[in-house]
Amino acid sequence: MKIQHINILENQILAPYAHTQAGGLVDFLALPKTHHELAILAQWATEQQLPIHIFGRLSNLVVRDGGLRGLTILTQDMRSITVEGNVITADAGADLIITAEVAMEHGLSGLEWAAGIPGSVGGAVFMNAGAYGGQCDLVVQAVTALMPDGQLLEFDGAQLDFGYRQSVFQENGGIIISAQFMLQPDDRQAIRSRMDDFNFKRANKQPLNYPSNGSVFKRPEGHFAGKLIMDAGLQGTRVGGVEVSKKHAGFMVNVNNGSGNDYEALIHLVQERVQSKFGVTLETEVRILGDN
């Protein structure tokens, strides 16, 4: 089916598009290439009274086997990145890793922490992603978003309402179009060295050889989720094809054609065991969506 010149795929499985290689059926799927195409799709879904789901790289998300109703939009083909002075402007679908590389190539520091995060700029802003002492709220100076009423609005400063894995876009229904990163000039080799160091640490600590969502749980106050899971003896525990990583207990990896339901069931099992053993409630960092 086409809306103007934009292809809309019907009854598509999300798993091949997802970083976890898991995810159920969606009614309609579209991959816009421009801001204008995204606006057309959003308007069409509104006119058809369809729910809209917007994702980037599907790298921090569990979609249940029942899938999603309405229109699912993946922004992965919207990936323009421009540099002007100390400011990088990146489309929502731009790879965070590539954005960090562009910053390095232009001698701009502030995104080194993002060098190994396999997500999109939009997803990172939406979740206020961070690692190794860096975080979106430290470098994002403005975000352009398409609002439910069709307006394009720019959010900056306090309007972004950043918190721990939190942004205003989790509440206001805005679709992130692009983000501006205010960075600082630095020696390119020094920036590269920091990026290489972070990636070395990731390779040594994280199970990068399997599909995963990265850290599944938020950091509980006074604790580390991975250590609690490890101390509960849960490493290697498996539901279906999804396993608590033996390399890093904070990760769940798809080792054998696991499904979204496998991920969710394992998440609940881990939460129950940690609560029972230590009295600590683990909150998910990943989002869980879709029909059972």
Q: Give the integer Cα–Cα distance in Å for 254 and 260.
A: 10
DSSP 173: -
Q: What are phi and psi of 214, to 5 degrees?
A: 75, -150
H/E stretch holding 171 reads helix 169-172
Q: Give the residue from 122, 125, 117 showing the smallest Cα distance to 100.
A: 117
287 is catalytic: no
Candidates 109, 167, 215, 245; catalytic one: 215
Whether 64 is catalytic: no
Cβ atoms of 292 and 66 within 8 Å: the answer is: yes
Q: Tell me how far the alpha carbon of residue 218 is from its chain's centroid.
A: 14
For residues 288 and 67, what is the distance between their CA atoms, to the nearest angstrom? 11
Q: Cα separations (Å) of 147 from 43, 168, 172, 174, 273?
A: 11, 12, 8, 4, 41
Query: Is 215 an annotated catalytic residue?
Result: yes
Of these residues, 165, 178, 243, 245, which one is catalytic?
165
Please state the φ and ψ torsions of residue 16, each to the nearest 5 degrees: -65, -20
Positions annotated as catalytic residues are 165, 215, 285
